[in-house]
């Protein structure tokens, strides 16, 4: 197996270039994009992290008929999990593409017709590239808050750390007849649990690189990772785990996002580029049960998630397991409690399978091959004199952000695919129109029968099932303006039912009178998506 792995490693060498490096300063990058955006991108501070760092939102909109506050708004969140800088890079990449796309259309002189400019004139995008700046600055998963995981009254006092000074936190392994682990006989660089059912016995212990800094007899027991912002939102928040926060939305980062969302009632869709994913596979279905918070997508919304997931996989060519976690995640809160469709993806993962047929490697072996090829993420085992354990070995997989293992050349294509997906996905939505508005003369009385057909041509229902539950949006409203005429039968305003996706319709009828030449106007409005208007003169 070792030989196969090495041969495969050789074969893949050309395919996987060295790993990419992350941008050093997202705030500076954002400022640069805003500066060259010709007013398209404006930034503001929506709050401060636990450490006190500004959390910025970039708002992107071009001048248009409707002010940005009344247009359909799209929210993009990234940088919640501190080890996921790739999401932040992607969020900044969307901004750069919007700015460059709009600028290119201006140079050609037909800016108003350009796709990007038209999109930015009819929509508004709110992009928060770093929800958890503490995590990225401190290299930890959560924010700057100090925690006491082992409840000894001291915080962050004993985290796994770099003992041998190679700049990396790896693993320790040492021989111990009571250990559960064995050195993988097929690949001695990997460890695996002994399979006692097959008569194997553990020979080693394995722990993260750590020493007992505070002398309490335990190593690495207080890991200094802060509160996890990506698990601190209000839907199915996990209680009694200090890492998820003392209560839902307990952290300044989460509160800033929640306040922003509640202050922008025109948000219609959200994207979360972070550690969770609900696009790579079939979403889990949930049914309302009493007062329990939903643990899956409502049946009527399943098609939406399946359609958009398929779109994502087509655009990006990605496949894999969904990780549609609900516990305190940003997307689940946005979907189930705020009531807007929220799509989440981790953007890239270390491959879990490489090669085909007999040469295929999976799981940790695939990871090892990948790390060797990108030249990062794995350290060869080497002896080390541990202060408490004596001679041990240090090595194995490095504790680091998986994003840093992404091959450098892969990013451009992946980001372009994600941007194309974003544009395609926001096209999915309800689109209500007045298909017909007709008048028929009734005898010689001067009365007319008006008829209208209202239709939803979009590929989402006028109101998603969750939006209906949260009552965030109302169903489409219509109003008949009589232009000096009068209404004999019917109402001059009302609300439609929930017009179904792809052709859901409703017919309306009135009897009116008026002087010859009277103009009757019918308005249809689905706030904040927009509507239609038609008139008829009799
Ligand atoms: Ca402690
Ligand atoms: Ca080390
Ligand atoms: Ca300790």
Q: Which pLDDT value is given to residue 4?
A: 45
Q: Does residue 295 sit in the same domain as residue 437? A: no
Residues paired with residue 284 on neighbouring β-strands, in sequence order: none
**Ligand number nearest to the C-alpha of 222:** 1
**Ligand number nearest to the C-alpha of 153:** 1
Question: Separation of 82 CA from ligand 3 center, angstroms?
Answer: 24
Question: Separation of 160 CA from ligand 1 center, angstroms?
Answer: 13
**What does the block give as tokens for 392?**
């041990």
The parts of the chain modelled with pLDDT lower than 50 are 1-15, 111-113
Ion ligand 3: residues, CB within 5 A, are 158, 212, 214, 216, 218
Q: Which pLDDT value is given to residue 199?
A: 92
Question: Separation of 422 CA from ligand 2 center, angstroms?
Answer: 40
Q: Which pLDDT value is given to residue 8?
A: 44
Q: Which pLDDT value is given to residue 287?
A: 85
**Ligand number nearest to the C-alpha of 223:** 1
* 528 found inside a domain: yes
* 174 found inside a domain: no
Between CA 533 and CA 479 the distance in angstroms is 10
Question: Separation of 218 CA from ligand 3 center, angstroms?
Answer: 4
Question: Separation of 159 CA from ligand 1 center, angstroms?
Answer: 10
- Tens-digit pLDDT profile for residues 380-428: 999 999 999 999 999 999 999 999 999 988 999 999 999 999 999 998 8
Q: Which pLDDT value is given to residue 14?
A: 41
Of 317, 348, 379, the position where a domain reaches its end is 348
Question: Separation of 508 CA from ligand 2 center, angstroms?
Answer: 73
Q: Does residue 316 sit in the same domain as residue 438? A: no
Question: Separation of 149 CA from ligand 2 center, angstroms?
Answer: 23
Question: Separation of 165 CA from ligand 2 center, angstroms?
Answer: 6
Question: Separation of 423 CA from ligand 3 center, angstroms?
Answer: 50
Of 348, 383, 412, the position where a domain reaches its end is 348
Question: Separation of 117 CA from ligand 2 center, angstroms?
Answer: 50
* 161 found inside a domain: no
Q: Which residues contact 453 (CB under 8 A, 6 or more apart)?
A: 434, 435, 436, 505, 506, 507, 508
**Ligand number nearest to the C-alpha of 170:** 2
Question: Separation of 168 CA from ligand 2 center, angstroms?
Answer: 4
Of 64, 165, 171, residue with least CA distance to 119: 64
301: domain CATH number is 3.40.630.10
* 207 found inside a domain: no
Question: Separation of 449 CA from ligand 1 center, angstroms?
Answer: 78
- HSE of 339, CA atoms in CB hemisphere, 13 A: 17
Q: Which pLDDT value is given to residue 282?
A: 86
**What does the block give as tokens for 113?**
């017709």
**Ligand number nearest to the C-alpha of 163:** 2
Q: Does residue 473 sit in the same domain as residue 333? A: no
Q: Concatenate the DSSP letters of all residues of 19-80 into one string.
A: BP---S-HHHHHHHHHHTTTTSEEEEEEEE-TT--EEEEEEE----SS-GGGS-EEEEEE--
Q: Which pLDDT value is given to residue 203?
A: 97
The count of residues in the chain is 538
**Ligand number nearest to the C-alpha of 221:** 3
Q: Does residue 100 sit in the same domain as residue 231? A: yes
SS3 sequence of 240-262: CCHHHCCCCCCCHHHHHHHHHHH
Radius of gyration of the chain (CA): 29
451: domain CATH number is 2.60.40.10
- Tens-digit pLDDT profile for residues 15-46: 455 555 555 799 999 999 999 999 999 999 99
Which helix (H) or strand (E) covers residue 119, if one does? helix 115-122
Question: Separation of 220 CA from ligand 1 center, angstroms?
Answer: 10
* 88 found inside a domain: yes
C-alpha separations of 65 from 61, 68, 268, 433, 530 in Å: 12, 9, 19, 18, 12
**Ligand number nearest to the C-alpha of 155:** 1
The number of domains in the chain is: 2
Question: Separation of 193 CA from ligand 3 center, angstroms?
Answer: 25
Question: Separation of 162 CA from ligand 2 center, angstroms?
Answer: 4
Question: Separation of 379 CA from ligand 2 center, angstroms?
Answer: 9
Q: Assess contact for 364 and 354: CB atoms under 8 A.
A: no
Q: Which pLDDT value is given to residue 18?
A: 56
Q: Does residue 334 sit in the same domain as residue 444? A: no
Q: Assess contact for 243 and 228: CB atoms under 8 A.
A: yes
* 111 found inside a domain: yes
**What does the block give as tokens for 414?**
């992946």
Q: Which pLDDT value is given to residue 107?
A: 64
**Ligand number nearest to the C-alpha of 213:** 3
Question: Separation of 203 CA from ligand 3 center, angstroms?
Answer: 24
Ion ligand 2: residues, CB within 5 A, are 162, 164, 166, 168
Q: Which pLDDT value is given to residue 59?
A: 98
* 189 found inside a domain: no
Residues spanned by the domain of 137: 36-144+227-348
Q: Which pLDDT value is given to residue 292?
A: 86
- HSE of 469, CA atoms in CB hemisphere, 13 A: 21
**Ligand number nearest to the C-alpha of 218:** 3
């194995």: which residue's tokens?
Answer: 396
Q: Does residue 279 sit in the same domain as residue 139? A: yes
**What does the block give as tokens for 422?**
């974003």
- Find the angle CA(56)-CA(57)-CA(63) to the nearest 5 degrees: 140
Distance of CA 176 to the CA centre of its chain: 44
Q: Which pLDDT value is given to residue 211?
A: 96
**Ligand number nearest to the C-alpha of 151:** 1
pTM of the complete model: 0.90
Sheet holding 390-397, edge to edge: 191-193, 181-183, 204-208, 171-175, 390-397, 378-386
* 465 found inside a domain: yes
107 three-state secondary structure: helix
- Tens-digit pLDDT profile for residues 102-143: 887 666 555 444 788 889 999 999 999 999 999 999 989 999
376 three-state secondary structure: coil
**Ligand number nearest to the C-alpha of 165:** 2
Question: Separation of 162 CA from ligand 3 center, angstroms?
Answer: 15
Of 329, 348, 367, the position where a domain reaches its end is 348
- Find the angle CA(502)-CA(505)-CA(511) to the nearest 5 degrees: 160
């Amino acid at each position: 197996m070792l030989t196969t792995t090495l041969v495969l490693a050789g074969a893949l060498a050309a395919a996987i270039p060295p790993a990419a490096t992350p941008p050093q300063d997202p705030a500076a990058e954002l400022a640069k994009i805003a500066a060259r955006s010709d007013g398209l991108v404006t930034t503001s501070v929506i709050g401060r992290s636990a450490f006190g760092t500004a959390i910025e939102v970039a708002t992107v909109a071009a001048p248009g008929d409707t002010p940005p506050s009344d247009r359909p708004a799209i929210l993009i969140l990234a940088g919640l999990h501190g080890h996921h800088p790739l999401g932040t890079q992607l969020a900044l990449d969307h901004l750069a593409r919007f700015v460059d796309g709009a600028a290119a259309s201006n140079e050609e002189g037909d800016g108003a017709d350009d796709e990007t400019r038209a999109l930015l004139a009819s929509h508004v995008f709110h992009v928060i590239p770093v929800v958890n700046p503490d995590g990225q600055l401190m290299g930890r998963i959560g924010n700057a808050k100090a925690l006491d995981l082992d409840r000894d009254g001291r915080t962050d006092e004993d985290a796994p750390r770099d003992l041998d000074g190679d700049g990396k936190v790896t693993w320790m392994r040492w021989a111990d007849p009571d250990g559960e682990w064995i050195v993988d006989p097929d690949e001695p660089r990997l460890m695996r649990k002994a399979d006692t059912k097959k008569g194997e016995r553990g020979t080693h212990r394995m722990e993260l690189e750590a020493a007992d800094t505070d002398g309490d007899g335990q190593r690495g027991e207080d890991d200094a990772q802060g509160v996890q912002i990506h698990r601190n939102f209000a839907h199915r928040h996990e209680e009694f785990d200090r890492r998820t926060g003392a209560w839902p939305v307990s952290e300044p980062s989460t509160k800033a996002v929640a306040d922003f969302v509640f202050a922008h009632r025109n948000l219609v869709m959200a994207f979360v580029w972070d550690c969770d994913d609900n696009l790579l596979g079939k979403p889990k279905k949930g049914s309302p049960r009493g007062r329990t918070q939903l643990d899956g997508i409502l049946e009527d919304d399943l098609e939406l998630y399946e359609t958009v997931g398929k779109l994502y996989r087509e655009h990006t060519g990605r496949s894999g397991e969904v990780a549609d976690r609900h516990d305190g995640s940003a997307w689940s809160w946005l979907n189930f409690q705020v009531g807007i469709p929220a799509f989440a993806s981790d953007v890239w993962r270390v491959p879990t399978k490489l090669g085909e047929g007999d040469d295929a490697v999976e799981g940790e072996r695939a990871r090892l091959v990948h790390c060797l090829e990108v030249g990062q993420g794995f350290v060869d085992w080497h002896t080390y004199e541990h202060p408490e354990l004596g001679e041990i070995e240090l090595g194995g997989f490095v504790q680091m952000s998986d994003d840093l293992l992404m091959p450098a050349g892969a990013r451009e294509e992946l980001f372009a695919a994600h941007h194309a997906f974003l544009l395609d996905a926001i096209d999915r939505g309800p689109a209500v129109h007045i298909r017909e508005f007709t008048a028929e003369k009734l005898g010689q009385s001067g009365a007319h029968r008006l008829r209208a057909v209202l239709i939803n041509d979009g590929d989402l229902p006028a109101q998603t099932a969750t939006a209906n539950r949260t009552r965030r949006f109302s169903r489409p409203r219509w109003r008949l303006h009589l232009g000096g005429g009068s209404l004999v039968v019917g109402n001059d305003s009302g609300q439609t039912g929930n017009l179904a996706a792809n052709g859901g319709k409703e017919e309306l009828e009135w009897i009116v009178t008026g002087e010859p030449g009277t103009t009757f106007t019918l308005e249809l409005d689905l706030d904040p998506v927009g509507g239609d208007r038609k008139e008829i003169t009799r």
